[in-house]
Structure 1
Amino acid sequence: MKKWIVTLFAMLPSLAMAAGANVPLDEANNDLSDQASLQNGAKLFMNYCFGCHSSQYQRYERVARDIGIPVELLKENLIFDPNAKVGDLMENAIPDKAAAKWFGATPPDLTLVARVRGVDWLYTYLRSFYEDPSRPFGVNNIVFPSVGMPHVLEELQGIPSPIYETKVIDGQEHKVVVGTESNGKGELNQEEYDDAVRDLVNFLEYSGDPVKLERHALGWWVMAFLVIFTIVVVLLKKEYWRDVH
């Protein structure tokens, strides 16, 4: 418990800056029923995020079953720890102390990040990195100013340059970063990169609420039952009180 409290207080300045950015968010338009998107998102997460961030409230086997990945394929391509089993929790091997030393704070677990931040915030955040030589990792972020992590998807997007706009703040003119533009040297073009980020965010949304689709489907059955039950009760009430009135 003490460890979590210390980590939280260490991250408060960064969280305050992130909350104060006040940047319009783009809509992720996720589709949790799209298994191809979820599978690609899982691949991106394991290859680009899992090196620093765990997803320790999920199990490999459950993820494979939910999003339609054969277990053998999961073992061969998405489980990098030779000692891990398919029934294990998805914990990475980076030591917390080393991570805190390298990044200033231990990288948070991402199982519930979509529920905490929101899918639109994540989608916009991952598309808002830009080159900034003044930062320790050479990048900054429009949504999360003074971000403390590298642009891990840079090889997919290329190196993004900031787009500035002059705005009047407190009566003075300031150059503000309002967008980014890739140098075009990434593996994906802009549209493909946006789709890849959407798949990654889609997987993170699934991670935070694996039974969301099942719960929504069950909800319709519950509503239908309540409607039918209400009709039956009303008819029964009329029949019961017919002789009285």
Structure 2
Amino acid sequence: MRKLIITALLLLSPGILLAAGAGPHLEKADIDLHDQGSLQRGAKYFVNYCMGCHSLQYMRYNRLAKDLDIDEVTLRETLLFGEAKPGDLMENAMRPEDALAWFGVAVPDLTLVTRWRSPDWVYTYLKSFYVDPTRPYGVNNVVFPAVGMPHGLSDLQGIQEPVMGHDAAGAPVVTGVRLVKQGRLSPQEYDAMVRDITAFLTYAGEPIQLERQRLGLYVLLFLGFLFIIAYLMKKEFWKDVH
């Protein structure tokens, strides 16, 4: 019994730590996977701004086009570059050895990033870069301190400075960011763009998600009907038992 209690506590401890509020505040991404327009824009933004370094190595272009209702002409004109073909996996052109030389770490594939981190984390991360002269690329991030990548969307968002605060021990920490120089997009336009990218990455992490939810409803309805039949059968079988 003691071993069972200890095992249960170990399994529950990560959830307890998360519930305690550790880590930075995450903004709600408020994405809608039914919004095809948002997913299409997110795919375009990801290919144009993120795929120079990151990949979606478990996703094929033609699967994306089918799911997001993108015709082949549009796919070739807006999402395929170089020698990429519709049936290819969405891999980037950066070699792993180049990534190690330039960034010091292997650049992660982002197919499952929202399943690993959550959509809210990705949305907040893309909005939380700030100027930090001590970092190799001159920027840092509130939700990912000591981030090793440059801010690839800085020309769109603009320049942000850190907002300082103190932790429970009284040590200075970065608690937020403040926009000091606007980029090519307004804050509202940049937020919408980041939301579209987050929605697309959430779709890429589980393309079957909406279909799974639809089928799950039918399964629950079937189980409910089966329960009623089983209950009525049980009453019939036991009606003469006293």
> Which bin holds the TM-score, normalised by the shorter protein?
0.7 to 0.9
Q: Structure 1 236/120 Cα, relative in aligned 2: closer, same or farther at 3 Å?
A: same
Inter-partner Cα distance in structure 1 for 2:126 and 2:117: 12
TM-score normalized by the length of structure 2: 0.87
Aligned runs of 1:162-173 on 2, under 5 Å? 162-165=162-165, 167=166, 169-170=168-169, 172-173=170-171
The alignment partner of 2:152 has SS state of: coil
Inter-partner Cα distance in structure 1 for 2:160 and 2:42: 22
**CA apart distance, 1:243:** 4.6
The equivalent position to 1:198 in structure 2, one of 195, 201, 204, is 195
What is the CA deviation profile of residues 217-244 of structure 1, one whole-angstrom value per residue up to 9, with x for unaligned ones?
Answer: 1111000000111111112222333355
- In structure 1, the residue matched to 2:178 is 181
TM-score normalized by the length of structure 1: 0.85
**CA apart distance, 1:168:** 5.5
TM superposition outliers: structure 1 runs of 4+ over 4 Å: none
AA aligned opposite 1:49: C
Aligned runs of 1:33-112 on 2, under 5 Å? 33-81=34-82, 83-112=83-112
AA aligned opposite 2:45: L
Inter-partner Cα distance in structure 1 for 2:223 and 2:188: 44
Range with bigger deviation, 181-190 or 95-104: 181-190
- In structure 1, the residue matched to 2:221 is 224
Aligned runs of 1:14-25 on 2, under 5 Å? 22-25=23-26
AA aligned opposite 1:25: L
**CA apart distance, 1:156:** 1.2
The alignment partner of 1:235 has SS state of: helix
Inter-partner Cα distance in structure 2 for 1:173 and 1:154: 29
> Where does the alignment leave 5 or more consecutive residues of structure 2 unmatched?
1-21
AA aligned opposite 2:36: Q
AA aligned opposite 2:220: M
**CA apart distance, 1:186:** 1.1
Residues matched between the structures, number: 222
Range with bigger deviation, 177-186 or 123-132: 177-186
Inter-partner Cα distance in structure 1 for 2:213 and 2:44: 26
> Where does the alignment leave 5 or more consecutive residues of structure 1 unmatched?
1-20
**CA apart distance, 1:144:** 0.7
Inter-partner Cα distance in structure 2 for 1:173 and 1:93: 42
Inter-partner Cα distance in structure 2 for 1:108 and 1:204: 13
The alignment partner of 1:31 has SS state of: coil
- In structure 1, the residue matched to 2:6 is none
AA aligned opposite 2:125: Y
RMSD: 1.7
- In structure 1, the residue matched to 2:137 is 137
